[in-house]
């Protein structure tokens, strides 16, 4: 598969990492993000995203249409879960025939299938990706499962670039189902740890409770894992809640009521709200879980 021009939709954490790492493998990398101001210039200090793109050597497109029509061989969609279908709908209006559309977003099988129908009907080639863990610290080596008619061929190309991609199905929905079912477990554990540890901290029993977890699951460092879970949800709770809504959709598409997934959404949303309110402000990198729990306890209202 001859890919010389990459078009990235979404220039957030994942978009920046992928653009930087893939530049050495292709002739050109372009990007579009809704935060890009069409009236701004790359040197405008008031537009941090454009300034970052310019410094990184990434060509900033003025619109999604500009990106799609700019001669890209592959479009990589790396946006929030709630925007998965909207980006595919918009791209389908302008995508060139034969362009690969690689969807990295965390969405349900049904959402991915709808997106695939739009892209394929417009002459593009849709490939879904299930990104199986957080991109940092793996970078482009993050494990990805691919699905679609062009999944195997694209996986060969991506692996040649140093990525870790595995084609799991020719049909759309399998890769995302694997990802979403995993998300129920992983983000469920995050929600459980935050609720359990913070409550234990309130009662002063964490030094008694956590060793019992280690006794039952000795392969897990529960102190270190707790700190990691608190920090990730505090930093990315809103994005994780969006992904869990798609996980809930996945459960519902299977014919079950997503009681657990819905509860996980609520917990991640709540932590995101605490973060937005400044509850975790100025916590240092590498803070222990007790620091996060203490901030949550201090922020309680009398009614809570």
pLDDT in tens, 163-189: 999 999 999 999 999 999 999 999 999
Whether the pLDDT of residue 32 is over 80: the answer is yes
Residues 99 and 134 grouped into a single domain: yes
270 sits in which H/E element: helix 259-276
Rounded CA separation 167/8 (Å): 21
The per-residue pLDDT for range 89-104, each reduced to its tens digit, is: 999 999 999 999 999 9
Mark which of 141, 172, 203 sits at the end of a domain: 172
Residue 224 lies in a domain: yes
> 76 Cβ partners below 8 Å, 6+ apart?
6, 7, 8, 9, 15, 18, 102, 104
Residue 210 has pLDDT above 90, yes or no: yes
Q: Is the residue at 19 inside a domain?
A: yes
Q: Which domain-ending residue is among 172, 198, 232? A: 172
Residue 236 and residue 276 in one domain: yes
Decide which of 145, 172, 199 is a domain's last residue: 172
Identify the pLDDT of residue 46.
54
Candidates 58, 75, 80, 176; CA nearest to 126 is: 75
Same domain, 12 and 161: yes
Do 14 and 162 reside in the same domain of the chain? Answer: yes
CATH number for the domain harbouring residue 132 = 3.40.50.720
Q: Is the pTM of this model over 0.95?
A: no
pLDDT of residue 178: 98
Mean of the per-residue pLDDT values of the chain:
95
Looking at the structure, tell me whether residues 168 and 184 fall in a common domain: no
The pLDDT assigned to 64 comes to: 95
Which of 32-36, 150-154, 205-209 is predicted least confidently? 32-36
- Domain count for the chain, please give it: 2
Residues 22 and 106 in one domain: yes
What is the pLDDT, as a whole number, of residue 301? 80
Domain boundaries, position 115: 5-172
In a domain, 303, yes or no: no
């Amino acid at each position: 598969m001859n890919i010389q021009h990459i078009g990235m939709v979404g220039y957030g954490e994942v978009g920046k990492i992928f653009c930087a790492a893939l530049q050495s493998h292709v002739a050109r990398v372009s990007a579009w993000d809704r935060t890009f101001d069409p009236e701004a210039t790359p040197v405008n200090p008031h537009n941090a995203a454009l300034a970052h793109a310019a410094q990184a050597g990434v060509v900033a497109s003025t619109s999604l249409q500009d990106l799609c029509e700019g001669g890209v061989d592959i479009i990589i969609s790396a946006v929030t879960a709630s925007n998965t279908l909207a980006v595919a709908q918009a791209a389908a209006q302008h995508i060139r025939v034969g362009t690969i559309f690689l969807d990295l977003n965390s969405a349900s099988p049904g959402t991915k299938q709808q997106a695939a129908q739009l892209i394929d009907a417009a002459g593009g080639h849709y490939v879904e990706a299930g990104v199986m863990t957080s991109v940092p610290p793996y970078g482009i080596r993050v494990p990805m499962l691919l699905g679609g008619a062009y999944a195997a061929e694209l996986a060969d190309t991506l692996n040649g670039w140093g990525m870790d991609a595995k084609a799991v199905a020719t049909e759309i929905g399998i890769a995302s189902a694997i990802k979403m079912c995993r998300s129920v477990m992983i983000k469920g554990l995050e929600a459980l740890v935050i609720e359990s540890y913070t409550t234990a901290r309130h009662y002063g029993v964490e030094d008694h409770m956590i060793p019992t977890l280690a006794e039952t699951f000795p392969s897990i460092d529960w102190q270190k894992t707790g700190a990691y879970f608190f920090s990730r949800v505090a930093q990315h709770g809103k994005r994780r809640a969006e992904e869990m809504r798609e996980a809930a959709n996945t459960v519902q598409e299977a014919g079950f009521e997503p009681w657990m997934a819905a509860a996980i959404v609520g917990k991640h949303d709540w932590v995101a709200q605490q973060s937005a309110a400044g509850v975790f402000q100025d916590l240092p990198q590498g803070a222990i879980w007790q620091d996060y729990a203490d901030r949550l306890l201090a922020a309680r209202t009398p009614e809570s």
